[in-house]
Structure 1
Amino acid sequence: MRLLSTSEFAAELASPYSESELARSELVIDGKRTGIVVTGAVLEAALAWHNYRLAFLTDDIPFEETLRIYMFDSDLKTVDTASLGAMYSTGTFAELKLQPPNAVTFRFFGGIIWRMVLLTEQEFALPCLSDPSGVHRPFKFLRQFRVEGKPQPESARSAARDKLEDALLEGLRSEESLLTAEDWKAIRDESHAKLAERQKPR
């Protein structure tokens, strides 16, 4: 298992996002166009595992981002695919880590670390029921990788942020407070950072 460089595996935008269609990109292997076009605008990462290649692409839609995962065999045929995202929710692909022999972890949305387990043989999976909330696949009964994670509801994360904001605002407006607005801003930034850290899974 290893990450692929952009000279080994790349994606060039074939058609941009429009109101009627999502962006699509053509795969480029070892500097050569393949003619294979997939949905997605930005190649976030690619890796090789056994005879498979995996690609992680995002749509480049800031306020409703989707992560698309593709698994290709040695002939670049798609053997499995999944997308992560939710309506009116967004995410940033980050912290990709390889966990040999057959797993990777990353962050995207839901306030958690997602884990992806690669399978040497396809396994049975019930459509719409075998994946966590926010994970979507084409309707089929076999899969070549699992996506594991339990995204935190956006409402819960928003409620925690709102409660923190109210407490800080009340402190700033208090006549007994000896702190300046700049002091409260520093406290606010630090509190948000600690809140985000606490919401990470352990």
Structure 2
Amino acid sequence: MGNGQLVEVMMKVVTSLTLSQVSEETDTAQACSEVLMNGKSTGVTIHGKVLEAAIQVDEHRYLLFVTDGVIFEELLTVLLFDTSRGVIDKIIIGGAYSTGHFENLKVFPRSVSFHFTGDTAWTIKVLASATIKLPFTDPQGVSRPLGLRKYIDITRSPLNNS
């Protein structure tokens, strides 16, 4: 472990991570929740109140799929949570006045796919280490905070409605 090698763990859905709401949404702010691991505080507070899914990526990292629980205006926030460093990457899918419903989650050894808005399948891959984040390279409908590095790659493809 000390030689810089990653322990190979296949991605899997876990129930050990949950959210505990610490503040309600207001007209100007999202609800906030604390991330709990096995019911214990992690000290990490995030925006959002509904944990749609938690995926273990490796020994210390998890993908969290979080919404606000608002029926007609929904954003999906995907967080990469590291147990020792907190949230290390974040993407948001959706936009103002858009509706979405998180469904059809499929977990593969190194990626996850799901449906959220429209006739679109989204695929997320978590990188072993950070890469340089180039502007305007994410698919339409995806936003990220400003920064130079990313750990999450996301792609979208139309659903085959034949």
8 Å contact from structure 2 (residues 31, 49) kept in 1: yes
Please report how far the alpha carbon of residue 62 of structure 1 lies from its aligned counterpart in structure 2 after TM superposition.
1.4
Identical-pair percentage: 33
**What is the aligned partner in structure 2 of residue 104 from structure 1?**
112
Higher strand share: 2
Q: Which has the higher contact order (CA 8 A, sep 6+)?
A: 2
Runs of 4+ with >2 A deviation: none
Query: Aligned letter for 1:48?
Result: Q
Answer yes or no: is the 8 Å Cα contact 1:132–1:150 preserved in 2. no
Q: Cα RMSD over matched residues? A: 1.5
Q: In structure 2, what is the Cα distance between the partners aligned to 1:89 and 1:148?
A: 19
- Tell me what 2:74 maps to: 65
Indicate which of 98, 105, 115 corresponds to 1:89: 98
CA shift digits 1:170-202 (9 cap, x unpaired): xxxxxxxxxxxxxxxxxxxxxxxxxxxxxx237
How much has 1:125 moved relative to structure 2? Answer: 2.0
Which residue number in structure 1 is paired with residue 140 of structure 2? Answer: 133
**Number of positions where the alignment pairs a residue of Structure 1 with one of Structure 2:** 150
**Unpaired runs of 5+ in structure 1?**
152-199
Structure 2: tracts of 5 or more residues without a match: 1-10
CA shift, 1:10, in A, is: 0.2
Amino acid at match of 2:130: Q
Cα-to-partner distance string for 1:68-95 (whole Å, 9 max, x where unaligned): 1110223142211111012211100011
| TM-score, length-scaled by structure 2 | 0.87
The 1-side partners of 2:44 and 2:111 are apart by 26
Partner residue in 1 for 2:5? none
Q: Distance in 1 between matches of 2:24 and 2:102?
A: 20
Q: Which residue pairs with 2:7 in the alignment?
A: none
Provide the rounded CA distance (Å) in 1 between the counterparts of 2:20 and 2:43: 11
Q: TM-score under structure 1 normalisation?
A: 0.70
Is the contact made by 1:133 and 1:150 (CA closer than 8 Å) also made in structure 2?
A: no
Give the structure with the larger helix fraction.
Answer: 1
